[in-house]
Amino acid sequence: MRFAPILLSIALVQPSAALVAVPRGHLSAARIVLAARRADVLRMDEPPPPGSKAADAEAALDRMQQRMKSYNREQKGPSINPNTYNVLYGAIIAFTLNDLRQNADVLAWLGAGAALDAVPFRALGASTLLMAYALFQLAFSFGTGTSTPFRQAVLKLGVTEPPFSSALNDEKRRGEYRCASCDVALFDSEAKYDSGSGWPAFWRTSDGGLEYSKELGGRMEVKCSKCSGHLGHVFSDGPDVREGDMVPDTDPGGAAAAFAMNDETVHPRFCINGAALSFVPEEGGSGAVGTLPKEESVVES
Sign of CA dihedral 34, 39, 41, 46: positive
**Using the 8-state DSSP alphabet, how is residue 107 labeled?**
H
Which one is catalytic: 179, 182, 227, 271? 271
Helix (H, G, I), strand (E, B) or coil at 270: strand
* Cα–Cα distance measured from residue 77 to residue 182, given in angstroms and rounded to the nearest whole number: 31
Question: 178: which strand partners?
Answer: 185, 278
* Cα–Cα distance measured from residue 104 to residue 95, given in angstroms and rounded to the nearest whole number: 16
* E-state strands within the chain: 175-179, 185-188, 192-193, 201-202, 210-214, 220-224, 230-235, 269-272, 277-281
Half-sphere exposure of 226 (CA within 13 A, CB side): 12
271 is catalytic: yes
* Cα–Cα distance measured from residue 129 to residue 146, given in angstroms and rounded to the nearest whole number: 28
Is the distance from CB of 99 to CB of 131 less than 8 angstroms? Answer: no
* Cα–Cα distance measured from residue 103 to residue 251, given in angstroms and rounded to the nearest whole number: 55
**Using the 8-state DSSP alphabet, how is residue 208 labeled?**
-
Question: 240: which strand partners?
Answer: 266
Active site residues: 271
